[in-house]
Amino acid sequence: MRIKVVGTVLITLMLMLFFYAYIQKAKQVVLQQLFNQSLVSTNTAYHAITDTYKIVSERHFISLMQKQNVLDVLKQYKYAAEAKRAILRGQLYRLLYKEYEQLKRFNVRQFHFHTVEGETILRLHNPSATGDSLIQDRKSIRLANTELINVDGFEGGKSFPGFRYVFPIFDKNEHLGSVEFSLSFDGVEKQLQHIQPSLAYQLILEKDVSYDKVFKHNRTIFEESTFDKNHYIENSKISRVSQRIQESPLLTQLTKLVTLSPNFISLLHKQEHFSVPVIFENKGYVVNFFTIRDTGNKVAAHLISFIVLPGIVEIEQNYFIYLLVGWAVIFVLAVMIIVVIFQNKKSKQHKEKLKNLSKLAASLNSAQNLAHLGSWELDLIENKLYWSDEVFSIFGTEAQSFEPDFIVFTESIHPDDRPRVQEVYKTALKQQSSYQVNYRFVRENGSIRSVSEAGDYQFDRKGKAIKKVGTLHDMTEMLAYEKKLFSKLKKVIDIQDSIVVVTNGMKLNFANKKFFDFFGYESLDDFSKDFNCICDRFIKNNGFFYLTDTVEAEQLWIKDLLKLSGRQRIVSMLDKSSVAHAFTVTLNEFNQDHYVINFSDISDSMAEKLQLQKQLIHDPLTKAFNRVYFDKTINHLIDVNKTENKKTGIIFFDIDFFKRVNDTYGHKAGDNVLKKVVSLVKQHIRIKDSLIRWGGEEFIIVCSTETLQDLYKQADYIRSVIDSYQFEEVENISCSFGVATNQEGDDINNTIKRADEKLYQAKTSGRNKVVA
């Protein structure tokens, strides 16, 4: 298309150019006709004048030939010596000066006699200039004296260029020489103005017939023409015509405009008549250049006429209007063509779009048909409902077989679902939000279809609903399939050892047989009467996931659980016999809102794990904590005591003379003593106090205390319990105690060391005592 447009623009520009050229040409033709008339008039006037002067000259020549005394002087001159010739010249002047005065009144400037050899006899206009030969320079004189014929025409000369009339002189058939009458341009101009008035006439002379030809001392009578430096005019100080032109601002301006016109110089040098139109100050002028040829038929000068020609302005204006109109038409046509090109392009694009749209519509219909998904649009202003083909199909009718109606549509919704659906519509409209609702509707043939409708309202600027658009998904087959599939799946799920539920976090949508067996319920409805959520059955237990007691938490428990790593997703629930079980929880997304959650009972493996953990931190013989426990927990215990503003106390004790027990009653009896002592101590210390078998018969009790005295009392109480107990076989044994409290910033090992030192003191000071 770009090529077409560029092409059109280029063609338009070319057409405009051609039209411009055509208009210029046509205008030139019209103007040329006008100029030709002017040139013809000038030509006619010019020839009328020169012909008239020819007649005048001939008359004078005839008159001259009748003067015998003149002829006698000329005859004598022909044969006289130079000394005699001077007198004869004087005589000739004396005879003819009155004749010359008369000729001057007829604007004859030069009256000139020549010998048969072409030498000057006498110039009446310049009597003292004589004797010079003209035979080479003046063709007219040469012809008159060699061919013996009358010659006339424009010609340069030694005094002035002029319009010449040369006649050979005879006396009784004897050739005596020639005579010349010559006109000045000022004289011709006067006559031209009389016959054909113009602003001015001017004669511009070729250099070789003016400046180059005259006597050297005569060159100052010329000056360069303002038209062209190779042309000369008579000096304005000599020529009345030149002076008048130079003094005229209008003629000066016209001359300047002519020289500025294109091709002027080349036209001037073509040596043919031509005209230059000039418009100056909204007036039309033509400056005609009329070539004047000399006697040798060579262009010697241009006769220039400055003529007022108002028609030029009119012609220029008319052709300018033609040009504008033509250009406007071409431009409009070009614009129309470009518009058509654009329209074609648009039309093509439109067709292509329509084609693609049709394809898309067909594809959409096919897609909708495949997906059982129809689209609809309800114009709430016009109350007009539009259904895609698939909606018609969902309704069991032919595509576009009737005009759908919203009321009819709502009436076809299953009566059980209709209130709910209408409520959804109202809510969405009220909240200006999209909606999604599943329901059933009844076809005309009574069959029921399950559909999922999604819709959205469109509002105007004022918030008024103007349109509702949406989709209608026929779920019937899918639901039936799902139901069938679910039925099969349910059987598989039911035989699982794990509890499997489908829930959105609150409501249970499905639970397998294990669920009902574990919790002792017959149905989900029964369960939901007692519990909002399965999470309500989670019990608080150390190391198990548990949720806080808020309703929001119930909604978020799945998300919270998902945040935990798989190993940490452990919950504890009570079964129908109130026995706690541990479950690992596995979550899988069922749909956008629902999860399939699998609870695997790991109670047995959990118990084993707990046992192992117990063994790891307990003394296997006495079941008291061991040093591993101490190392792991001591810092935590100290921190807990600090937070309760209590000190950590260390009660270090051992069994007195235990070696004797082993030696006397054997190691088994010794082991029994150790077990019993631990048992006794455990029974009499606080639950948060820890009893640790430090090694052999040495034990440490880590406890919290406010003062050392309290610690002492506690230790002494334990001592008394052990001392008063009757052991099997060995009957009475005692223990010695050392106590110390952990000071702020003190290493716990130092505290133990101090307690150990106190124990040593108790041992060395009689045993069965407490030393603080």
Partner 1 sequence: MKVFLLIVWVCFSQIGHAKDKSLINFAPLPTHNSKTNIKQFLSMTNYLEDKLDIDINYIYKNSYTDILQGFNNQTIDIAYLGPLPLVTLINKYADAEPIVVFKNKKSNSYQYRCVLAKFKKDTFDKNQVLKVALTQPLSTCGYFMTSKLLQDKFDIDLSQQKYHYAMSHSNALLAVLKGEFLLAGAKESIAKQYEVLGMEIIARSELIPGFSLVVNKKTLSKHQIDAIRHALISISQEDIDSWEEESISGMKAISAKDYESLNIGVDIPQQGNIK
Which of 92, 703 has the CB closer to partner 1?
92
Q: Is 247 in the site for partner 1 (CB under 8 A)?
A: no
**Spatial separation of the C-alpha atoms in residues 261 and 276, rounded to whole Å:** 8
Q: Is 310 in the site for partner 1 (CB under 8 A)?
A: no
Q: Is 246 in the site for partner 1 (CB under 8 A)?
A: no
Phi, then psi, of 692 in degrees rounded to 5: -125, 125
Q: Is 93 in the site for partner 1 (CB under 8 A)?
A: yes
| Contact positions with partner 1 (CB under 8 A) in 131-150 | 131
Give the one residue of 218, 230, 397, 452 binding partner 1; rule: CB under 8 A: 218
Q: Is 237 in the site for partner 1 (CB under 8 A)?
A: yes
Give the one residue of 36, 43, 76, 130 binding partner 1; rule: CB under 8 A: 130
Question: Which residues have a Cβ under 8 Å from the Cβ of 630 and sit 6 or more positions away?
Answer: 690, 692, 700, 702
Task: Please report which helix (H) or strand (E) contains residue 184, including its range.
Answer: none
Q: How far is the CB of 137 from partner 1 (least distance, A)?
A: 18
3-class DSSP string for 28-41: HHHHHHHHHHHHHH
Q: Please give the structure tokens belonging to residue 652.
A: 């270090």
| Contact positions with partner 1 (CB under 8 A) in 57-86 | 86
Sheet holding 174-183, edge to edge: 120-123, 108-114, 174-183, 162-171, 151-155
Q: Is 220 in the site for partner 1 (CB under 8 A)?
A: yes
Which of 154, 211 has the CB closer to partner 1?
211
The residue to which tokens 């015509």 are assigned: 241
Which of 90, 296 has the CB closer to partner 1?
90
Burial of 284 (0-12, 13-18, 19+ CB in 10 A): buried
Q: Is 22 in the site for partner 1 (CB under 8 A)?
A: no
Which of 131, 695 has the CB closer to partner 1?
131
Name the residue among 607, 567, 605, 608 with its Cα closest to residue 585: 567
Q: Are 284 and 312 in contact (CB under 8 A)?
A: yes
Give the one residue of 27, 78, 89, 514 binding partner 1; rule: CB under 8 A: 89
Which of 84, 270 has the CB closer to partner 1?
84
The residue to which tokens 């030192």 are assigned: 757
Question: What is the distance, to the nearest Å, from the Cα of residue 325 to the centroid of all Cα atoms in its chain?
Answer: 39
Q: Of the ranges 8-16, 234-242, 292-300, 699-707, which one interacts with partner 1 (CB under 8 A)?
A: 234-242
Q: How far is the CB of 235 from partner 1 (least distance, A)?
A: 7
Give the one residue of 172, 216, 430, 540 binding partner 1; rule: CB under 8 A: 216
Which of 120, 226 has the CB closer to partner 1?
120
Q: Of the ranges 120-128, 485-493, 665-673, 764-772, which one interacts with partner 1 (CB under 8 A)?
A: 120-128
| Partner residues linked to 231 by β-bridges | 206
Q: How far is the CB of 71 from partner 1 (least distance, A)?
A: 18
Q: Is 217 in the site for partner 1 (CB under 8 A)?
A: yes
Q: Please give the structure tokens belonging to residue 196.
A: 């054909």
Q: How far is the CB of 185 from partner 1 (least distance, A)?
A: 14
Q: How far is the CB of 82 from partner 1 (least distance, A)?
A: 9
Give the one residue of 94, 256, 283, 660 binding partner 1; rule: CB under 8 A: 94
Phi, then psi, of 416 in degrees rounded to 5: -70, -30
Which of 128, 643 has the CB closer to partner 1?
128
The dihedral region occupied by 256, where left means phi > 0, alpha psi between -120 and 50, and beta the remainder, is alpha
How many CB atoms within 10 Å of residue 335?
12
Give the one residue of 10, 11, 52, 97 binding partner 1; rule: CB under 8 A: 97
Q: Is 238 in the site for partner 1 (CB under 8 A)?
A: yes
Q: Is 2 in the site for partner 1 (CB under 8 A)?
A: no
**Spatial separation of the C-alpha atoms in residues 523 and 515, rounded to whole Å:** 10
Q: Is 88 in the site for partner 1 (CB under 8 A)?
A: yes
Q: Is 243 in the site for partner 1 (CB under 8 A)?
A: no
Any idea how long the chain is?
Answer: 772
Give the one residue of 7, 90, 296, 543 binding partner 1; rule: CB under 8 A: 90
Task: Please report which helix (H) or strand (E) contains residue 110, including its range.
Answer: strand 108-114
| Partner residues linked to 151 by β-bridges | 166
Q: Are 409 and 384 in contact (CB under 8 A)?
A: no
Total interface residues for partner 1 by CB under 8 A: 23
HSE at residue 218, side-chain half, CA atoms within 13 A, is 16
Q: Is 127 in the site for partner 1 (CB under 8 A)?
A: yes
Q: Are 178 and 165 in contact (CB under 8 A)?
A: no
The residue to which tokens 């709910």 are assigned: 420
Positions touching partner 1 (CB under 8 A) are: 86-91, 93-94, 97, 122, 127-128, 130-131, 216-221, 235, 237-238
